[in-house]
Amino acid sequence: MIQDILNACVLGSIYLLFALGISLTWATIGVLNFAHGAVFMFSAFTAHLIGETARLPIVLYAVIAAAAGAVMSALIQVLVFAPIQRRARDHRTAETQILIGGVGVASIPVGIAAYITKSGSFGFDLTGQNPVFEIAGLRFTLIGTTILVLALLISLGTAFWIRRSRTGLALRAIGVDHETARLMGVDERRLAIGTMAVAGLLSGLAGALLTVHLVAIDPTTGDGFLIKAFAAIVLGGVGSVLGVVLGTFVLAFAETFTILAGYGSWSSAISFALIFVVLLIRPQGFFGRKEVTRA
Amino acid sequence: MPMGRGRKPLGRLRAAALTAVAALALAGCADSSAVQGGGIPSVIHLLGVRDQTGPVSYTGISAANGTALAIEEITDQHFLGAKVTIDVDERDAAFNPQTASSEITTGLAAGNITAVLGPQVSNESLAVAPIAQGSGVPIVFTQSGVDGLLTGNMTFRASSSQASIWPNATKHIIDSGAKRVAIVNTASNATYKELGNKTLPALLGKSGVKVAESFDLESTVSDFQAPVSRVIAAKPDAVITTLIGPQIPTLVVQLRQAGYDGPIYTGNSMTDAQLRTMGDAGIGLMFPSTFSYAMTDQVPAAFTAAYKAKFGTLPDVFAAETYDQTWWVARAIKQAGSANPADVAAALPQVGKKGFTGAQGALTFENGNDAKAKGVLVRWDGSKQTIAR
């Protein structure tokens, strides 16, 4: 039982690492980035391609993927989302167009990776770099433990950054009212690029760690994570880092124990039904505000 | 009067129009003589509808390669005549039944298609089968193990169903002395789901092997620590999985990480690229298949050598199946002495009843329309496939 709880925590951390980047941009600069899953996959794919030329240590795979994710996300902001935001007649229209734009952008890296891999799975050459150790009868893998620890540290760091730093304050101001924030001297353009880069970095890091943990992913793996992350963020409450943590862990525990109960083919249905019931009772999610003001 | 004046020019116009229509019709007849009349024409037109893009594009790309190699051999050997060539219109089903239907409809509209080399994915095959049947053009599938596909006289299958090749693996499990197995089953593919829930328990149950633990999991499940935990608790002598795609490497590695060191058997769609991602954890993984490049029988080995020479890579099961599919169609054209679709459809079962040896080894055909191969049990040694049985 304790091993199962530990496994559910690792799964929750996997979802959390992925979801944090989406939550960050959605809650602050108003970008619900549907290309996040593609960035996640393509960052890992970039590290995979480089790793094919020389066997790399696990840390280097993570660094390459994180850097690739940051660059990709920043480019998406500059080349796609920022022009949409400039030309849209109002904020709501911009949000909708960004959503559609994200779906369109996502198809490019997915298409490239699918073409190169012939839609097959890919991973890293890491023989012997993910050891298993046992403590008090519980089994841990190095990567599973790293994911668990990193997810919690990054969540705490993100929450601290958003709540305590001047940049975080500026981002929250953009989230509440971007026009007033601009009048107060907040450089929205620069902050948007920076926030997207941080979200991309998290996405790339998640891509590398999950590829190690899951052994192999394929060009469409990001899509499945995207839906789950979206659900977890809504469940936790848009704009709350603690909400994302809770949402992802509720989803992971629901899935794990549905499978353990022998209803594996119902895991998504039961998990999403649970989320639906919670949202019926509390539409703003666990930690969302009734009147949604981002961040 | 105006009417009278206009009659002559109108008559000439009408005559010219009739002449043009007749000429076009004759031209059309000349082009489609392969379809309409007897005899083997100089150009035979086939239509291929497979996934060239999408999540299983590796299957469609290999399939097209298998067909290309077969056609090259058929042409070089003058199998259908010294000057006969085969033209394949390859179309992309894009892992979408609607696209598959649209592509086959467009392809058949040319009116000169002798046979269709059908999709490999069951739901695409189910979508296109009625279109080929309604058009009176034979369609030969590969993979597509779904029940109820071969219901018309125009539908054929050139690869063995999973149910027919798994006895090779279950015998291996039984002979190894296993008494309890765990099955980790996909809930997202009807064919594999039935295999894991009905076929395998029945095959193993006959010899007293008990299914100690069984799971159905969706294709969206990415982490298998929860089912692995229960599998370990059940202490099985062997683990069987019918999962597909990147789920297999994840499950295999997580089973090993959790301390399971017994044999693991998986479905037949394993490529070397998928197997390599598992690293050391994949060593010893076994899977039944109708083909492996490790097969040493004459025709499969010759196919492997020819494929490697042409494409520079080792062939997989998808290429082997379409190689046999294309040769089956060519044999039927020769048997019929015609490229007329109805004649070829009638000849396919005749060839099937005789059977032939292809890349999948000796092929027999149930009811003359559904291929059965004995298959082999393939073992991955960490760097290449070997034959375990």
Residue in A117, A127, A260 nearest the CB of B280: A127
Coil, strand or helix: which one is B25? helix
B9 pLDDT band, cuts 50/70/90, is very low
**Is A131 near chain B, with CB under 8 Å?**
no
**Is B383 near chain A, with CB under 8 Å?**
no
**Is A217 near chain B, with CB under 8 Å?**
yes
Q: Tell if the CB–CB gap between B226 and A260 is shorter than 8 Å.
A: yes
**Is A221 near chain B, with CB under 8 Å?**
yes
DSSP string, A182-228: HHTT--HHHHHHHHHHHHHHHHHHHHHHHHHHHS-B-TTHHHHHHHH
Q: Tell if the CB–CB gap between A265 and B217 is shorter than 8 Å.
A: yes
First-to-last alpha carbon distance for chain B, in angstroms, is 92
Number of A:B CB contacts under 8 A?
121
Task: Identify the pLDDT of residue A75.
Answer: 95
pLDDT digits over B159-178, tens only? 988 778 888 899 999 999 99
- β-bridge partners, B371: B365
A51 interaction partners in chain B (CB closer than 8 Å): none
Task: Identify the pLDDT of residue A291.
Answer: 54
Query: A210, A18 in Cβ contact below 8 A?
Result: yes
**Is A114 near chain B, with CB under 8 Å?**
yes
What would the mean pLDDT of B344-362 be, rounded to a whole number? 96
Task: Identify the pLDDT of residue B28.
Answer: 39
Q: Please classify residue A67 by burial: count the beta carbons closer than 10 Å to its beta carbon, then call 0-12 exposed, 13-18 middle and 19+ buried.
A: middle
- Percent of all residues in chain A with a pLDDT value above 70, rounded to a whole number: 97
Task: Identify the pLDDT of residue B132.
Answer: 96
Task: For chain B, give the mean pLDDT.
Answer: 87
B181 pLDDT band, cuts 50/70/90, is very high
Q: Tell if the CB–CB gap between A14 and B223 is shorter than 8 Å.
A: yes
Report which listed range, A12-16, A291-295, B190-194, is most confident: A12-16
Task: Identify the pLDDT of residue B285.
Answer: 94
- How far is B152 from B75, CA to CA, in rounded Å? 30
A215 interaction partners in chain B (CB closer than 8 Å): 246, 249-250, 252-254, 277-279, 281
Task: Identify the pLDDT of residue B24.
Answer: 40
A130 interaction partners in chain B (CB closer than 8 Å): 257
Q: Where are the alpha helices (DSSP H) in chain B?
A: 2-31, 33-36, 57-76, 97-108, 122-135, 162-175, 190-194, 200-205, 225-234, 247-257, 272-276, 298-311, 317-336, 341-354
Q: Which of B238, B216, B111, B124 is nearest to B170 (CA)?
A: B238
- Percent of all residues in chain B with a pLDDT value above 70, rounded to a whole number: 90
Q: Which of A139, A142, A214 to mutate to test the interface with B (most CBs of B within 10 A)?
A: A214
A128 interaction partners in chain B (CB closer than 8 Å): 280
Task: Identify the pLDDT of residue B271.
Answer: 79
What would the mean pLDDT of B77-97 be, rounded to a whole number? 93
Give the residue on A whose Cα is nearest the Cα of B248: A216
What would the mean pLDDT of A90-109 be, rounded to a whole number? 88
Q: Tell if the CB–CB gap between A215 and B250 is shorter than 8 Å.
A: yes
Q: Which of A18, A215, A223 to mutate to test the interface with B (most CBs of B within 10 A)?
A: A215
Worst-scoring range by mean pLDDT, A221-225, B65-69, B88-92, B179-183?
A221-225
**Is B250 near chain A, with CB under 8 Å?**
yes
Task: Identify the pLDDT of residue B293.
Answer: 95
Task: Identify the pLDDT of residue B3.
Answer: 36
Q: Which of B225, B231, B254, B285 to mutate to test the interface with A (most CBs of A within 10 A)?
A: B225
Residue in B57, B227, B249 nearest the CB of A264: B227
pLDDT of A239 above 80: no
Worst-scoring range by mean pLDDT, B41-50, B152-161, B165-174, B188-197?
B188-197
Q: Tell if the CB–CB gap between A259 and B217 is shorter than 8 Å.
A: yes
pLDDT of B112 above 70: yes
What would the mean pLDDT of B354-371 be, rounded to a whole number? 94
Q: Tell if the CB–CB gap between B223 and A118 is shorter than 8 Å.
A: no
pLDDT of B34 above 70: no
What would the mean pLDDT of A235-247 be, rounded to a whole number? 86
Task: Identify the pLDDT of residue B100.
Answer: 95
Backbone angles phi, psi at A83, to 5 degrees: -60, -35
The shortest C-alpha distance from A98 to chain B (Å) reads 25
Residue in B57, B225, B249 nearest the CB of A215: B249
- How far is A89 from A254, CA to CA, in rounded Å? 42
Worst-scoring range by mean pLDDT, A255-264, B74-83, B112-121?
A255-264
pLDDT digits over B115-138, tens only? 999 999 888 999 999 999 999 999
pLDDT digits over B191-247, tens only? 788 888 888 999 999 889 999 988 888 877 888 888 898 899 899 999 999 888 778
pLDDT of B268 above 70: no
pLDDT of B361 above 80: yes
The shortest C-alpha distance from A26 to chain B (Å) reads 24
A87 pLDDT band, cuts 50/70/90, is confident
- How far is B313 from B305, CA to CA, in rounded Å? 10
H or E, element range at A143: helix A142-164
What would the mean pLDDT of B336-343 be, rounded to a whole number? 95
- How far is A147 from A82, CA to CA, in rounded Å? 32
Residue in A11, A216, A221 nearest the CB of B225: A11
Residue in A121, A225, A265 nearest the CB of B274: A121
Chain B stretch 209-228, residues whose beta carbon is closer than 8 A to a beta carbon of chain A: 215-218, 220-223, 225-227
Task: Identify the pLDDT of residue B36.
Answer: 44
pLDDT digits over B305-314, tens only? 999 999 999 9
pLDDT digits over A147-179, tens only? 999 999 999 998 888 888 888 888 877 777 777
B190 interaction partners in chain A (CB closer than 8 Å): none
- How far is B341 from A204, CA to CA, in rounded Å? 53
Task: For chain A, give the mean pLDDT.
Answer: 86
* Contacts for A92 with CB less than 8 Å, ≥ 6 apart: none
A289 pLDDT band, cuts 50/70/90, is low
Backbone angles phi, psi at B121, to 5 degrees: -90, 130
Task: Identify the pLDDT of residue A77.
Answer: 93
A221 interaction partners in chain B (CB closer than 8 Å): 222, 246
Q: Which of B250, B180, B228 is nearest to A264 (CA)?
A: B228
pLDDT of B327 above 50: yes
The shortest C-alpha distance from A12 to chain B (Å) reads 10
Q: Which of B335, B318, B322 is nearest to B116 (CA)?
A: B322
Give the residue on A whose Cα is nearest the Cα of B269: A120
Structural domains of chain B, with CATH = 43-160+296-375 (3.40.50.2300), 163-289 (3.40.50.2300)
* Contacts for B164 with CB less than 8 Å, ≥ 6 apart: B372, B373, B375
Coil, strand or helix: which one is B110? coil
**Is A265 near chain B, with CB under 8 Å?**
yes
Task: Identify the pLDDT of residue B269.
Answer: 65
pLDDT of B32 above 60: no
pLDDT of A251 above 60: yes
Residue in B54, B218, B277 nearest the CB of A119: B54
Chain B stretch 60-89, residues whose beta carbon is closer than 8 A to a beta carbon of chain A: 61
Task: Identify the pLDDT of residue A240.
Answer: 83
B279 interaction partners in chain A (CB closer than 8 Å): 125-127, 215
